[in-house]
Amino acid sequence: MTLATAPRRSAAPGRTPAPRRDHATWFLVLPALIPILVLSVGPLLYGIGLAFTDAQSGRTRATGFVGALNFTDLLHDTLFWDSFRIGLVWALGVTVPQFFLALGLALLLNVNLRLRWLARALAIVPWAMPEVVVGIMWRLVYHPDAGILNETLRDLGLSGTGDGRDWLSGLATALPAVIVVGVWAGMPQTTVSLLAGLQNVPKELHEAAAMDGAGAWRRFRTVTWPALKPVALAITALNFIWNFNSFALVFVLTDGGPGGRTRLPMLFAYEEAFRYGQFGYAAAMGLAMVAVISILLAVYLAGRLKGDDDR
């Protein structure tokens, strides 16, 4: 806090007139602010506006305002809601296991083990890789003939039901298969965030609890978790949003197939916009996604924070 107020104090004694400091501030801020307004905030507002129009690609007639028509259409678009449901299953299916796996890894990395450096380095690899490459890589793993997964299952004698199973085109296996990839790909950010959160855990408290004879689980519940909770909440909420909006991974793995079983809402909206040229309708889909996700997150965060008070 003192750090933050220091420069202001140093400006005060000289009685620098306020406007001058403002000029300097604007001079520093505008180079970033203008591009953000023009190419980020502006398009977002424009996109929200488009959701209420009949904008289409390559049309000569002027775009017209159609009110909530896109949204009433959307309500009856069962294909979109199927896709939406798949998106929720995917986002939850990735976020929840990812959190627990990353928590386990973060706790392990926080202990003084040999090989820790290797695990830290490896845990970062998925983060650095282009999503497209992650998708390609897992296609190779899942490949029915040349993939390592089927070969390993054969070696273990587990391939019983179907030898040479095609994981990514099977109606039942496609979604679980892409979910595993999603978990793998998102491990680094989650682990690193949780590891950072673990630095907030007061060591003395841990030792004191240990002296009092608290077991590992109790120490985790009463000492580690309260300190870790804000980070855990933030990263799970962010992961949920990111996963729900993800595109490239599944685009490469299955392109929404088989039969739409992995068609996430983003893939659906992308096709609507850039394959069929329905800009207005696709924008309405985007808006619907934001709305539902915001509500879900508000409920989740409110519930979690209230649970905090109860205890």
Partner 1 sequence: MSQVSTVRRAGRKSPVRPAGRRTAARRTATRTGQYAALLAYLAFLAFPFLWLVSTAFKPPRELGSIHPTWIPGAPTLDNFRQAFTQQPLLTAAGNSLLAAAVSAVIAIVLATPMAYVLARHRGRLARAATGWVVISQAFPLVLVIIPLFLILKNFHLVDSRAGLVMVYAVWSLPFALWMLTGYVRAVPPEVEEAAAVDGAGRIRTLVSVTAPLLAPGIVATGLFAFITAWNEFFFALVLLKSPEKQTLPVVLTHFIGTEGVADLGPLAAAALLATLPSLLLFAVIQRRITGGMLAGAVKS
**Which residues from 59-98 bind partner 1, rule CB under 8 A?**
none
Residue 245 · residue 28 · CB < 8 Å: no
Residue 272 · residue 281 · CB < 8 Å: yes
Among 88, 96, 143, 260, binds partner 1 (CB under 8 A): 143
Residue 162 · residue 248 · CB < 8 Å: no
Residue 13 makes contact with partner 1 by CB under 8 A: no
Write out the binding residues for partner 1, residues 161-200 only, by CB under 8 A: 184, 187, 192-193, 195-197, 199
How many residues of this chain interact with partner 1, rule: CB under 8 A?
Answer: 104
Residue 39 makes contact with partner 1 by CB under 8 A: yes
Kindly list the distances between the CA atom of residue 236 and the CA atoms of 16, 101, 255, in Å, as whole numbers in the listed order: 46, 12, 26
C-alpha closest to that of 242 among 311, 178, 189, 299:
189
Indicate the residue among 4 and 310 with the shorter CB distance to partner 1.
4
Residue 310 makes contact with partner 1 by CB under 8 A: no
Residue 187 · residue 123 · CB < 8 Å: yes
Beta carbon of residue 20, minimum distance to partner 1 (angstroms, whole number): 10
Residue 233 makes contact with partner 1 by CB under 8 A: no
Beta carbon of residue 303, minimum distance to partner 1 (angstroms, whole number): 19
Residue 154 makes contact with partner 1 by CB under 8 A: yes
Beta-bridged to residue 53, according to DSSP, are 65
Among 12, 115, 275, 310, binds partner 1 (CB under 8 A): 115
Among 23, 44, 72, 218, binds partner 1 (CB under 8 A): 44
Beta carbon of residue 266, minimum distance to partner 1 (angstroms, whole number): 6
Among 23, 151, 176, 202, binds partner 1 (CB under 8 A): 151
Q: State which amino acid sits at residue 249.
A: L
Residue 252 makes contact with partner 1 by CB under 8 A: yes
Residue 294 makes contact with partner 1 by CB under 8 A: yes
Binding mask 208-227 for partner 1 (x = CB under 8 A): --xx-x--------------
Among 88, 108, 153, 205, binds partner 1 (CB under 8 A): 108
